[in-house]
Structure 1
Amino acid sequence: MRDCGSKNGTFVNGTLLQAPVPLKDGDNIQIATGVTLTFVDAGATTPLFFEGQRGLIIDNDSRQVWLRGQELEPPLSTQQYRLLHLLYENAGKVVTREEIIRVVWPDAVSGGVSEQAIDALVRRLRDRLAEVDPDHQYVVTVRGHGFRLENAP
Protein backbone atom coordinates (compact mmCIF):
# COMPACT_ATOMS: atom_id res chain seq x y z
CA MET A 1 0.00 0.00 0.00
CA ARG A 2 1.29 3.46 -0.80
CA ASP A 3 -0.02 6.99 -0.78
CA CYS A 4 0.09 8.64 -4.21
CA GLY A 5 0.46 12.19 -2.95
CA SER A 6 -3.06 12.64 -1.58
CA LYS A 7 -3.86 15.89 0.25
CA ASN A 8 -5.15 14.16 3.39
CA GLY A 9 -2.64 11.30 3.47
CA THR A 10 -3.25 7.58 3.77
CA PHE A 11 -3.11 5.81 7.12
CA VAL A 12 -2.62 2.10 7.84
CA ASN A 13 -3.55 1.09 11.37
CA GLY A 14 -3.43 4.75 12.41
CA THR A 15 0.07 5.41 11.02
CA LEU A 16 0.59 7.92 8.20
CA LEU A 17 2.19 6.24 5.20
CA GLN A 18 5.59 7.69 4.36
CA ALA A 19 6.70 4.74 2.19
CA PRO A 20 4.95 1.72 0.65
CA VAL A 21 4.00 -1.02 3.14
CA PRO A 22 2.65 -4.53 2.58
CA LEU A 23 -0.87 -5.08 3.88
CA LYS A 24 -1.82 -7.91 6.21
CA ASP A 25 -5.22 -9.45 6.79
CA GLY A 26 -7.20 -7.19 9.12
CA ASP A 27 -5.21 -3.98 8.53
CA ASN A 28 -7.30 -0.80 8.78
CA ILE A 29 -6.82 1.70 5.96
CA GLN A 30 -7.98 5.28 6.38
CA ILE A 31 -8.30 7.55 3.35
CA ALA A 32 -9.77 11.00 2.81
CA THR A 33 -11.33 12.34 5.98
CA GLY A 34 -12.69 9.48 7.99
CA VAL A 35 -13.22 6.74 5.38
CA THR A 36 -11.90 3.53 6.94
CA LEU A 37 -11.57 0.22 5.13
CA THR A 38 -10.45 -3.16 6.44
CA PHE A 39 -8.11 -5.18 4.25
CA VAL A 40 -9.11 -8.83 3.84
CA ASP A 41 -6.41 -11.05 2.38
CA ALA A 42 -7.65 -13.28 -0.46
CA GLY A 43 -6.15 -16.30 1.30
CA ALA A 44 -8.31 -15.61 4.35
CA THR A 45 -11.57 -15.66 2.41
CA THR A 46 -13.67 -18.57 1.24
CA PRO A 47 -16.01 -18.77 -1.72
CA LEU A 48 -19.56 -17.56 -1.19
CA PHE A 49 -22.12 -20.31 -1.54
CA PHE A 50 -25.83 -20.01 -1.79
CA GLU A 51 -28.00 -22.04 0.54
CA GLY A 52 -28.81 -25.41 -0.95
CA GLN A 53 -26.13 -25.16 -3.63
CA ARG A 54 -25.28 -28.54 -5.06
CA GLY A 55 -22.43 -29.81 -7.07
CA LEU A 56 -18.69 -29.73 -7.05
CA ILE A 57 -16.57 -26.57 -7.11
CA ILE A 58 -12.78 -26.46 -7.17
CA ASP A 59 -10.71 -23.41 -6.27
CA ASN A 60 -7.43 -24.30 -7.96
CA ASP A 61 -5.52 -21.36 -6.42
CA SER A 62 -6.20 -22.52 -2.86
CA ARG A 63 -6.58 -26.22 -3.76
CA GLN A 64 -9.93 -26.23 -1.94
CA VAL A 65 -12.71 -28.57 -3.00
CA TRP A 66 -16.32 -27.71 -2.20
CA LEU A 67 -19.14 -30.21 -2.46
CA ARG A 68 -22.74 -29.08 -1.96
CA GLY A 69 -21.43 -25.89 -0.33
CA GLN A 70 -19.25 -27.78 2.15
CA GLU A 71 -15.46 -27.80 2.04
CA LEU A 72 -13.97 -31.26 1.73
CA GLU A 73 -11.97 -31.84 4.92
CA PRO A 74 -9.38 -33.14 5.31
CA PRO A 75 -8.10 -32.04 1.90
CA LEU A 76 -7.66 -34.61 -0.85
CA SER A 77 -4.27 -36.26 -1.33
CA THR A 78 -2.12 -34.81 -4.12
CA GLN A 79 -3.00 -37.67 -6.47
CA GLN A 80 -6.72 -37.47 -5.67
CA TYR A 81 -6.68 -33.71 -6.23
CA ARG A 82 -4.84 -34.02 -9.56
CA LEU A 83 -7.33 -36.63 -10.77
CA LEU A 84 -10.35 -34.61 -9.65
CA HIS A 85 -8.99 -31.40 -11.17
CA LEU A 86 -8.35 -33.18 -14.49
CA LEU A 87 -11.90 -34.54 -14.53
CA TYR A 88 -13.31 -31.16 -13.43
CA GLU A 89 -11.51 -29.31 -16.23
CA ASN A 90 -12.97 -31.84 -18.67
CA ALA A 91 -16.42 -32.16 -17.05
CA GLY A 92 -18.82 -34.17 -19.19
CA LYS A 93 -15.98 -35.48 -21.39
CA VAL A 94 -14.24 -38.84 -21.17
CA VAL A 95 -10.72 -38.72 -19.74
CA THR A 96 -8.59 -41.69 -20.77
CA ARG A 97 -6.34 -43.70 -18.49
CA GLU A 98 -3.34 -42.41 -20.44
CA GLU A 99 -4.35 -38.80 -19.71
CA ILE A 100 -4.78 -39.68 -16.04
CA ILE A 101 -1.29 -41.20 -15.88
CA ARG A 102 0.23 -38.13 -17.57
CA VAL A 103 -1.37 -35.72 -15.09
CA VAL A 104 -1.48 -37.72 -11.84
CA TRP A 105 1.88 -39.47 -12.19
CA PRO A 106 3.90 -37.10 -14.43
CA ASP A 107 7.22 -38.80 -13.61
CA ALA A 108 6.03 -42.35 -14.31
CA VAL A 109 7.81 -44.26 -17.03
CA SER A 110 5.77 -45.77 -19.84
CA GLY A 111 3.77 -48.71 -18.51
CA GLY A 112 4.83 -47.92 -14.94
CA VAL A 113 1.30 -47.32 -13.64
CA SER A 114 -1.07 -50.28 -13.60
CA GLU A 115 -4.79 -50.23 -14.30
CA GLN A 116 -5.26 -51.43 -10.73
CA ALA A 117 -3.44 -48.34 -9.40
CA ILE A 118 -5.74 -46.08 -11.43
CA ASP A 119 -8.83 -48.02 -10.32
CA ALA A 120 -7.75 -47.81 -6.67
CA LEU A 121 -7.22 -44.05 -6.95
CA VAL A 122 -10.64 -43.59 -8.57
CA ARG A 123 -12.23 -45.69 -5.80
CA ARG A 124 -10.57 -43.60 -3.08
CA LEU A 125 -11.71 -40.38 -4.76
CA ARG A 126 -15.28 -41.70 -5.10
CA ASP A 127 -15.25 -42.68 -1.42
CA ARG A 128 -14.12 -39.19 -0.37
CA LEU A 129 -16.82 -37.49 -2.46
CA ALA A 130 -19.46 -39.92 -1.15
CA GLU A 131 -18.65 -38.85 2.43
CA VAL A 132 -20.33 -35.51 1.64
CA ASP A 133 -22.77 -36.47 -1.13
CA PRO A 134 -23.61 -40.19 -1.04
CA ASP A 135 -26.59 -39.73 -3.37
CA HIS A 136 -24.63 -38.74 -6.47
CA GLN A 137 -21.97 -40.61 -8.46
CA TYR A 138 -19.54 -37.88 -9.54
CA VAL A 139 -16.90 -40.07 -11.19
CA VAL A 140 -18.45 -42.36 -13.80
CA THR A 141 -16.63 -45.23 -15.51
CA VAL A 142 -17.00 -45.27 -19.29
CA ARG A 143 -16.15 -48.90 -19.99
CA GLY A 144 -13.27 -49.31 -22.43
CA HIS A 145 -12.65 -45.56 -22.65
CA GLY A 146 -11.90 -43.99 -19.25
CA PHE A 147 -13.74 -41.82 -16.73
CA ARG A 148 -16.06 -38.82 -16.80
CA LEU A 149 -17.08 -36.28 -14.17
CA GLU A 150 -20.83 -35.87 -13.82
CA ASN A 151 -21.30 -32.79 -11.66
CA ALA A 152 -24.53 -32.61 -9.67
CA PRO A 153 -27.10 -30.02 -10.83
Structure 2
Amino acid sequence: MRHTPISPLRPDHPRQNSLEKHLQHRPDPQELKARHILLDTNAAPALQSAAHDLERHRASDSLKKGLEKRPQREDLVERNILPDSTAAPAIQGQQKELEKHMRADSLNEKIAHRPNPADLVKEGVLHEDPTQAANDKLYEKRMEEEYAKREGGA
Protein backbone atom coordinates (compact mmCIF):
# COMPACT_ATOMS: atom_id res chain seq x y z
CA MET A 1 0.00 0.00 0.00
CA ARG A 2 1.50 3.31 -1.06
CA HIS A 3 0.76 6.47 0.89
CA THR A 4 0.18 9.65 -1.02
CA PRO A 5 1.77 12.79 0.35
CA ILE A 6 -0.45 14.90 2.55
CA SER A 7 0.53 18.20 1.02
CA PRO A 8 1.68 17.96 -2.58
CA LEU A 9 2.87 21.56 -2.53
CA ARG A 10 6.12 20.99 -0.61
CA PRO A 11 7.23 17.36 -0.53
CA ASP A 12 10.68 18.31 0.75
CA HIS A 13 9.38 19.90 3.97
CA PRO A 14 10.80 18.07 7.09
CA ARG A 15 7.52 18.06 9.01
CA GLN A 16 5.72 16.42 6.13
CA ASN A 17 8.35 13.69 5.88
CA SER A 18 8.11 13.16 9.64
CA LEU A 19 4.33 12.82 9.53
CA GLU A 20 4.47 10.38 6.62
CA LYS A 21 7.11 8.34 8.45
CA HIS A 22 4.87 8.14 11.52
CA LEU A 23 1.88 7.15 9.42
CA GLN A 24 3.88 4.32 7.87
CA HIS A 25 4.77 2.93 11.31
CA ARG A 26 1.44 3.30 13.03
CA PRO A 27 0.03 0.13 14.64
CA ASP A 28 -2.55 -1.92 12.82
CA PRO A 29 -6.11 -2.30 14.17
CA GLN A 30 -5.43 -5.78 15.65
CA GLU A 31 -2.59 -4.41 17.76
CA LEU A 32 -4.79 -1.53 18.93
CA LYS A 33 -7.50 -4.02 19.89
CA ALA A 34 -4.95 -6.10 21.80
CA ARG A 35 -3.88 -2.96 23.71
CA HIS A 36 -7.59 -2.13 24.40
CA ILE A 37 -7.40 1.12 22.49
CA LEU A 38 -9.95 0.01 19.91
CA LEU A 39 -12.96 -2.06 20.91
CA ASP A 40 -12.89 -5.60 19.60
CA THR A 41 -16.43 -5.71 18.26
CA ASN A 42 -18.25 -6.09 14.99
CA ALA A 43 -20.87 -3.50 15.96
CA ALA A 44 -21.16 -0.28 14.03
CA PRO A 45 -19.11 2.55 15.56
CA ALA A 46 -22.30 4.39 16.51
CA LEU A 47 -23.44 1.34 18.53
CA GLN A 48 -20.08 0.43 20.08
CA SER A 49 -20.52 2.78 23.02
CA ALA A 50 -24.00 1.45 23.76
CA ALA A 51 -22.76 -2.15 23.48
CA HIS A 52 -19.89 -1.36 25.85
CA ASP A 53 -22.29 0.25 28.37
CA LEU A 54 -24.63 -2.75 28.19
CA GLU A 55 -21.72 -5.11 28.85
CA ARG A 56 -20.66 -3.07 31.89
CA HIS A 57 -24.24 -3.05 33.25
CA ARG A 58 -24.49 -6.82 32.73
CA ALA A 59 -21.27 -7.35 34.65
CA SER A 60 -22.44 -4.98 37.39
CA ASP A 61 -25.78 -6.79 37.71
CA SER A 62 -24.01 -10.14 37.88
CA LEU A 63 -21.75 -8.86 40.64
CA LYS A 64 -24.71 -7.49 42.62
CA LYS A 65 -26.50 -10.84 42.41
CA GLY A 66 -23.36 -12.64 43.57
CA LEU A 67 -22.98 -10.28 46.53
CA GLU A 68 -26.62 -10.73 47.51
CA LYS A 69 -26.18 -14.53 47.58
CA ARG A 70 -22.95 -14.31 49.58
CA PRO A 71 -23.23 -15.92 53.04
CA GLN A 72 -23.09 -13.72 56.12
CA ARG A 73 -19.81 -13.41 58.04
CA GLU A 74 -21.29 -15.29 61.04
CA ASP A 75 -22.07 -18.30 58.80
CA LEU A 76 -18.52 -18.32 57.46
CA VAL A 77 -17.08 -18.14 60.98
CA GLU A 78 -19.38 -20.97 62.09
CA ARG A 79 -18.19 -23.12 59.15
CA ASN A 80 -14.53 -22.31 60.00
CA ILE A 81 -13.98 -20.51 56.70
CA LEU A 82 -13.24 -17.17 58.36
CA PRO A 83 -11.44 -16.84 61.69
CA ASP A 84 -13.47 -15.70 64.70
CA SER A 85 -11.26 -12.72 65.30
CA THR A 86 -11.53 -8.98 65.36
CA ALA A 87 -7.76 -8.61 64.92
CA ALA A 88 -6.34 -7.07 61.78
CA PRO A 89 -5.69 -9.64 59.03
CA ALA A 90 -1.96 -8.89 59.18
CA ILE A 91 -1.71 -10.21 62.75
CA GLN A 92 -4.29 -13.00 62.67
CA GLY A 93 -1.59 -15.58 61.92
CA GLN A 94 0.36 -14.51 64.99
CA GLN A 95 -2.82 -14.55 67.05
CA LYS A 96 -3.57 -18.11 65.93
CA GLU A 97 -0.01 -19.20 66.76
CA LEU A 98 -0.29 -17.61 70.23
CA GLU A 99 -3.60 -19.39 70.89
CA LYS A 100 -2.01 -22.70 69.84
CA HIS A 101 0.89 -22.21 72.27
CA MET A 102 -1.47 -21.16 75.07
CA ARG A 103 -3.55 -24.31 74.50
CA ALA A 104 -0.39 -26.47 74.57
CA ASP A 105 0.75 -24.80 77.82
CA SER A 106 -2.66 -25.38 79.39
CA LEU A 107 -2.63 -29.07 78.42
CA ASN A 108 0.92 -29.51 79.72
CA GLU A 109 -0.11 -27.90 83.02
CA LYS A 110 -3.08 -30.26 83.35
CA ILE A 111 -0.98 -33.31 82.47
CA ALA A 112 1.67 -32.32 85.04
CA HIS A 113 -0.96 -32.25 87.83
CA ARG A 114 -2.98 -35.30 86.92
CA PRO A 115 -3.19 -38.13 89.46
CA ASN A 116 -1.31 -41.37 88.82
CA PRO A 117 -3.22 -44.56 88.01
CA ALA A 118 -2.57 -46.15 91.45
CA ASP A 119 -4.29 -43.21 93.20
CA LEU A 120 -7.24 -43.46 90.83
CA VAL A 121 -7.57 -47.20 91.60
CA LYS A 122 -7.53 -46.41 95.36
CA GLU A 123 -10.25 -43.78 94.89
CA GLY A 124 -12.36 -46.18 92.85
CA VAL A 125 -12.20 -44.10 89.65
CA LEU A 126 -10.26 -46.81 87.81
CA HIS A 127 -10.55 -50.55 88.21
CA GLU A 128 -7.42 -52.63 88.30
CA ASP A 129 -7.05 -54.80 85.20
CA PRO A 130 -5.99 -58.30 86.29
CA THR A 131 -4.70 -59.09 82.80
CA GLN A 132 -2.44 -56.03 82.80
CA ALA A 133 0.13 -57.56 85.14
CA ALA A 134 0.28 -60.69 82.97
CA ASN A 135 0.60 -58.51 79.84
CA ASP A 136 3.44 -56.53 81.45
CA LYS A 137 5.34 -59.75 82.31
CA LEU A 138 4.79 -61.13 78.78
CA TYR A 139 6.04 -57.86 77.29
CA GLU A 140 9.15 -57.92 79.48
CA LYS A 141 9.84 -61.55 78.53
CA ARG A 142 9.52 -60.83 74.78
CA MET A 143 11.75 -57.77 75.06
CA GLU A 144 14.44 -59.86 76.81
CA GLU A 145 14.17 -62.50 74.07
CA GLU A 146 14.48 -59.82 71.38
CA TYR A 147 17.57 -58.33 73.03
CA ALA A 148 19.10 -61.79 73.37
CA LYS A 149 18.47 -62.49 69.64
CA ARG A 150 20.08 -59.25 68.62
CA GLU A 151 23.11 -59.73 70.86
CA GLY A 152 23.58 -63.27 69.69
CA GLY A 153 22.93 -62.45 66.01
CA ALA A 154 25.23 -59.45 65.85
> Please, what TM-score do these two structures have when normalized by structure 1?
0.22
Higher RCO (C-alpha 8 Å, min separation 6): 1
* Structure number, greater radius of gyration: 2
Higher helix share: 2
> Please, what TM-score do these two structures have when normalized by structure 2?
0.22
